C-alpha cells in the first residue's frame, strides 16, 4: 500500500537515491514498499519475517524499504557491548545534519524475543535514541533472528542465564535493503562507513 507523501523536498531526494516513492519520516509508522518494483536479489527484504516494535505494532521486515537504514542486532539486558552499539548509532545520527537524519532510519532487532517485550524495547529506545529520533526497536521469532543474523553476517550464541554472546555489527542498508557497508567500530565513527552513508543521504541544502 502507498502512503501519502507529506514531506516535499525529502521525498524527491530520497526517491532519487532510492527509487522509492515514499518517505514519511515524520510519522511513527513504517515506510511503504514501492509497489511493483521487485526487491533486488541481494536485499535482506527477501526475508519474509515480521517484526513487533516497541509500540506492539507488527510489520513485515520488507516494509522498511524506502530509506537507507542502519540496522543492528542487540538485546536490552546486555551489559557489555549493546549499550555501546546504541551509543554508536546515536553518535552516527548526531554527526549528521537534521536534514540528513530525516533521510535515515535506525532499526535494532533483539536476539532475545523472550524477554524483550515491547515495553522493554520502548524503555531502551527512550534511554538511547537522540531527541527527535524514532528508532525502531523490535523483536521477532527466534528462527527469524537466526536468519536475520545470517544475512547481516552477525555471529551470536545464546549462553545460559539469558546472556548472548554476539558480534557487534552495524550494517548500512540502502533504500532497497541491500547491505552497502558494515562496521564493527564502536563509539567512534568509522570513516569509510560514514562516507558510504553520507553518499546515500540527501545533500544538505546550501
Partner 1 sequence: MRLTVCLLLLAGTSLAATSTGGAGTDSVTLGPAKFESVLPPAPGKRAVALASFRLDRRPVTNAEFLAFVREHPRWRRDRIPRLFADAQYLSHWQGADRLGESALPAQPVTRVSWFAAKAYCESRGARLATWYEWEYAAAAGPAVADARRDPAWRQTILNWYARPSSKPLAAVGQESANYYGLQDLHGLVWEWVLDFNALLISNDSREQGGANRLKFCGEGALSTADRDNYAVLMRIAYLSALEANYTTGNLGFRCALEAS
Residues forming the site for partner 1 (CB under 8 A): 39, 41-44, 46-47, 78, 80-82, 84, 146-147, 149-151, 153-161, 163-168, 184, 186
Neighbours of 130 (CB within 10 A): 14
What does the CA dihedral 12, 15, 20, 23 come to, rounded to 10 degrees?
-50
Residue 24 vs 68, nearer CB to partner 1: 68
Shorter beta-carbon distance to partner 1: residue 15 or 47: 47
Cα–Cα–Cα angle for 199, 63, 111, rounded to 5 degrees: 90
CB of 153 to partner 1, least distance (A): 6
| Rounded Cα distance, 27 and 7, in Å | 11
Query: Residue 35 or residue 41: which is nearer to partner 1 going by CB?
Result: 41
CB of 155 to partner 1, least distance (A): 5
Residue with cell 536468519: 147
Query: Shortest Cβ distance from residue 80 to partner 1 (Å)?
Result: 5
CA torsion 101-105-111-114 (nearest 10°) is: 110
Q: What minimum distance in Å lies between the beta carbon of 112 and partner 1?
A: 12
Amino acid at each position: 500500500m502507498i502512503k501519502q507523501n507529506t514531506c516535499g523536498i525529502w521525498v524527491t531526494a530520497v526517491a532519487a537515491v532510492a527509487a522509492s516513492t515514499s518517505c514519511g519520516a515524520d510519522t511513527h509508522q513504517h515506510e511503504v514498499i514501492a509497489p511493483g518494483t521487485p526487491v533486488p536479489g541481494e536485499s535482506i527484504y527477501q526475508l519474509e519475517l515480521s517484526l513487533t516494535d516497541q509500540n506492539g505494532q507488527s510489520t513485515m521486515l520488507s516494509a522498511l524499504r524506502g530509506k537507507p537504514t542502519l540496522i543492528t542486532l542487540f538485546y536490552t539486558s546486555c551489559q557489555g557491548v549493546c549499550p555501546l552499539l546504541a551509543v554508536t548509532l546515536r553518535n552516527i545520527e548526531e554527526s549528521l545534519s537534521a536534514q540528513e537524519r530525516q533521510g535515515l532510519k535506525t532499526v535494532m532487532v533483539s536476539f532475545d524475543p523472550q524477554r524483550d517485550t515491547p515495553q522493554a524495547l520502548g524503555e531502551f529506545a527512550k534511554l538511547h535514541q537522540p531527541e527527535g529520533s524514532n528508532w525502531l526497536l523490535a523483536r521477532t521469532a527466534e528462527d527469524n533472528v537466526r536468519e536475520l543474523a545470517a544475512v547481516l553476517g552477525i555471529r551470536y550464541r545464546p549462553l545460559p542465564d539469558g546472556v548472548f554472546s554476539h558480534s557487534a555489527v552495524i550494517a548500512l542498508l540502502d533504500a532497497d535493503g541491500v547491505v552497502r557497508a558494515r562496521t564493527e567500530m564502536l563509539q567512534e565513527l568509522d570513516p569509510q562507513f560514514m562516507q558510504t552513508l553520507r553518499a546515500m543521504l540527501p545533500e544538505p541544502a546550501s
